[in-house]
Amino acid sequence: MLRRWMPIFAALFFLLFACTSWALDLPAEQVAQQEGHSATINNRTVMVFRSPIFTYTPQDRALGAEQRIKRMLPELKEGRVDSVLVSSPETAISVTIDGQQAFLVLQGDVNSLAGDTLESTANKAKHQLRMLIIESRELHDPRRLIHSAAYALLATLIFGLIVYALSKSRVFLLKVGRRYVSRPIAHLAQKTTGVSFSLLNRILRWIINTITSIIGLLLLYTWTSLVFGLFPFTRAWSERLNESIFTFFGNVGSGILHAIPGFLVIIFIVVCARYMSRFLHFVFGRIERGELHLSWFDRETASTTRKIMSFLVWLLAIAMIYPYLPGADTEAFKGLSVMVGLMVSLGASSVVGQFASGLILIYAKSLKQGEYVQIGDTEGTVIHIGLFATKIHTNLREEISIPNSVLVGQSVKNFSRLASGGGVITQVGVTIGYDTPWRQVEAMLIEAAEQTRGVRHNPRPIVYQTALSDYYVEYFLRIAVDEPRRRLEIMSELHAKIQDVFNTYGVQIMSPHYRADPAVEKVIPPEHWYPAPAKADDLPQGS
């Protein structure tokens, strides 16, 4: 089990030290720090020089301070660190060790961006010098180094035992959680929500792994800080690590405290938007059900209007929330906003077109849900009119989705819109020769219509002669149908009745084209209407 943890600890160990090296450049004095040169001895930064003096650059001053301090350390007696204020050639503080000057702290060395002063800068340098002297003496004390190594070995052993126990406890918690948490909850939840045991088990495993990983990181940090703090050569690293961690959590805590008022405003805006959305749902729901009548809102468009207004409410809420989000005024947040806006503008052009077409269809009332229509070659009942596509169910039990942008550019034949005022008007055409009296043809067509189920008797069927061709007359029978959805069935039965009536009276139908008069008229007498396998009670399919 330890093998699974070791790569993680190794990677985190590297990242922690990488972060500690970066964290030194993160505070407000970052710009000034980059311009300075530090005097570093035994991994401890004693002083950062930023200002030149005479012909000496900050780099020369740092190098000279390192050389002087290294020369003084082996010869120290008391190791007393003091500071003396001098005024020549400019106001400065001389930092001394046992009365010997180690370096000068000039006014130009002060990091004013961090709020430091000449005195505070000198005091920090004196503190670092005292720590350096203590660590230098420890480095030359074998007994102290042996004690530190023993303590480090003991700390490492304890750390390994705790990690091993943590690994075992993780496995134990997974077994206990699976038996006493996941299974009982899944047994209860599956009856109501359908949540499976495997899903709950994955959630529990994720929670336990997250908690144990956080504990492992805290243990790794504690061990690293403790072990590095035992040895004088790495004690500065331990201090940097602690400083980085404390600074990080301090910044996080400060950010949370400063963000609390903004979060309260965000909660207030979300609550207001939520109640406004509920109010719109209540009002337009009543309009949609016909319980409330407002002159400027239609029942058919109430659902779409509710969705659009709710969307606008939440869009306005997001726009109002944005300034109160933590980090909203940072360059990273602004860059992210620009990137999201660019992606939306490039990818949403067709979506916006579909959306606009959907609004045109809904508010122009070209279609309504439940109407029987013909759009191009598609004929069927409108099931759903969305903001992006319209769904139609055909008589072949097909569901066809037509994009609204395509639908807006096509003509729509609506069979249901005027059906309540006299039915849907449809027609069928036949061609009959000139040797058949037109009055007989009209009477036969009307008789066939009256025998067809689903054809309205008011208005009555009517016949029009639409063309006098070279060899025949074109007749169109116009009828009214009550149920547009049954138009295909009614037309099929009407065609069958027309054939029966014309055959009964011995009149041949010359559709679709006439070539010559046959020796015997092309009619089927009633006694030959039902040859095998037809039966006397057979009707056209769908009738």
Helix orientation angle between 197-230 and 142-177, rounded to the nearest 10 degrees: 170
Residue 475 pLDDT > 90, yes or no?
A: yes
* pLDDT at residue 194, as a whole number: 57
Region 188-210 average pLDDT: 72
Report whether pLDDT(20) > 80: no
Dist CA 224 CA 363 (whole Å): 69
Of the chain, the percentage scoring pLDDT greater than 90 comes to: 14
- Predicted confidence (pLDDT) at residue 29 exceeds the cutoff of 60: no
Report which secondary-structure segment, H or E, holds 45. strand 44-49
Q: Categorize the per-residue pLDDT at 466 as very low, low, confident or very high, splitting at 50, 70 and 90.
A: very high
Q: What are the two backbone dihedrals, phi and then psi, of residue 372, each rounded to the nearest 5 degrees?
A: -100, 120
Q: Where are the alpha helices (DSSP H) in 178-234?
A: 183-192, 197-230
- Statement: residue 182 has pLDDT above 60: yes
Q: Which has the higher per-residue pLDDT, 366 or 158?
A: 158
What DSSP state is assigned to residue 413? E
Q: What does the mean pLDDT of the chain come to?
A: 79
Strand pairing category for 472-481 and 412-414? unpaired
Give the mean model confidence (pLDDT) for residues 250-278.
87
Beta bridge partners of 502: none
Q: How would residue 184 be classed by pLDDT, with cut points 50, 70 and 90?
A: low
Candidate from 22-26, 183-187, 257-261, 313-317 with smallest mean pLDDT: 22-26
CB atoms < 10 A from the CB of 155, how many? 16
pLDDT category of residue 162 using cuts at 50, 70 and 90: very high
Confidence of residue 446 (pLDDT cuts 50, 70, 90): very high
pLDDT tens column, 244-260: 787 777 777 777 788 78
DSSP string computed for 87-101: -SSSSEEEEEETTEE
Q: How far apart are CA 441 and CA 502, in angstroms?
A: 8
pLDDT for position 284: 86
Six-digit token pair at 288? 């949609």
Q: Mean pLDDT over residues 257-286, rounded?
A: 89
Tokens 């500071």 belong to 83
User: pLDDT class for 523, splitting at 50, 70, 90?
Assistant: low
For residues 316 and 366, is the Cβ–Cβ distance under 8 A? no
Section 270-289 average pLDDT = 90
Two tokens at 486? 């049954």
316-357 tens-digit pLDDT = 998 898 888 877 777 777 777 777 777 767 666 666 666 777
- DSSP 8-state code for residue 458: S
For 299, the token pair is: 């029942």
Better-predicted residue by pLDDT, 496 or 205: 496
Whether residue 108 has pLDDT greater than 90: no
- What pTM, to 2 d.p., does this model score? 0.46
Q: Does the pLDDT at position 82 exceed 90?
A: no
**C-alpha separations of 525 from 102, 115, 495, 504, 528 in Å:** 131, 114, 17, 6, 6
Residue 373 confidence class, pLDDT cut points 50, 70, 90: confident
In our burial notation (b when 16+ CB lie closer than 10 A, e otherwise), range 462-483 reads ebeeeeeeeebbebebbbbbee
pLDDT of residue 477: 95
Q: Cβ(62)–Cβ(38) under 8 Å?
A: yes
Instruction: Measure the CA–CA gap between 488 and 491, rounded to whole angstroms.
Output: 5
At 276, the pLDDT band (50, 70, 90 cuts) reads very high
Q: Evaluate if residue 379 carries a pLDDT over 90.
A: no
